[in-house]
Amino acid sequence: MGEDYIAIYRRTGAFILALPLVAALPLLVQILQRGLIAAELIRLSQAVEFRVAMAVLNTLAMLVVSVIAIRWWRFGGDLARVWRIGPRVLIGAAAMIAIQLTDEYLFTRAGQFAADLAGRPRGLFVPVALLMWLFVSVPLFPWYVALLTDDRSLGFRQAVAAVRPWWLHGFLLAFGAFLPLIVIGTVLRLVMLMRFAGGGPGAWVLQIGMMLLVPLLILVTASAYFAIYRRVVPGDA
């Protein structure tokens, strides 16, 4: 599995070097968000609308980066094919984000509900619920890649059947790929709270580090999806 992890990060790095502006889209959205807040251009009465607008922009940035990266890997960097995005790809992207957000919300709510029933802190239950969501979603990952790259040979049923023998392996592959980034982000956040809660240059350095982790996490996750797809469809289609 070590070779799989190396391939995931190698693909991520290659995409960043090839299309840095696309890879930086989530970072630019974060900079815009923080810039508007720092400049105090958002009034208190606009807070809800601002959060919704930023959530939409962040989701769109994540979707654009994921779609372009997956297509870039699948087509070997052939930009003519990468940008040839038809209605089926757009429908696939909409289906992917709708399923992802709905499932994540349902599992998160289930974790919160279980925590309330048990009388325990939600922080103990929600991560477990999200891990369950990731585990259940493993067969969807190669199907997403097929939708986003016009691969009509791999439908949902075929993806589930192909993934079933190594479902746990696929889960560990996806989880292990982005776990280091989550650990780094958690450490940075803890250092921020303990040492730089009052602000200062150190706080800005940590904030930049956390912002950089967002596009990296998006790309590593997409690369893990692609790695599972390649297990199902090993050759170039």
What are the distances in angstroms from CA 43 to CA 28, 39, 71, 200?
22, 11, 40, 24
Q: Give the model confidence (pLDDT) of 161-217 as tens digits.
A: 999 999 999 999 999 998 999 899 888 888 877 776 666 666 778 888 888 999 999
Residue 169: give the domain boundaries.
2-85+154-232
Nearest Cα to Cα of residue 25 among 222, 211, 215, 217: 215
- CB under 8 Å to 111, separation ≥6 — which residues? 122, 125, 126, 127, 128, 129, 130
pLDDT value for 236: 54
More confident residue, 107 or 196: 107
In a domain, 107, yes or no: no
CA 166 to chain centre: 22
Cβ-based neighbour number of residue 64 at 10 Å: 15
Can you give the pTM of this predicted structure? 0.88
Domain presence at residue 144: no
Q: In this model, does residue 51 exceed pLDDT 50?
A: yes
| Residue 121, in any domain of the structure | no
Residue 137 belongs to a domain: no
Question: Would you state the pLDDT for residue 237?
Answer: 45
**pLDDT for 110-150, tens place per residue?**
777 777 776 666 666 777 888 888 999 999 999 999 999 99
Number of domains in the chain: 1
Non-local (6+) Cβ contacts of 138 within 8 A are 163, 167, 170, 171, 174, 228
Nearest by Cα to 229 from 157, 145, 149, 173? 145
Q: What is the pLDDT of residues 82-98, one digit of tens each?
A: 999 988 899 889 988 88
User: What is the structure's pLDDT at 54?
Assistant: 81
Residues in CB range of 129: below 8 A, 6 or more apart:
107, 108, 110, 111, 112, 114
Nearest one of 217, 209, 228 to 146, comparing CA atoms:
228
Check: CB of residue 173 under 8 Å from CB of residue 227. Answer: yes
Residue 198's pLDDT is 61
pLDDT, the chain, mean: 85
**Residue 116 is assigned to a structural domain of this protein:** no
Are the C-beta atoms of 171 and 227 separated by less than 8 Å? no
Residue 129 inside a domain? The answer is no
* Residue 106 within a domain: no
Place of tokens 């992890």: 5
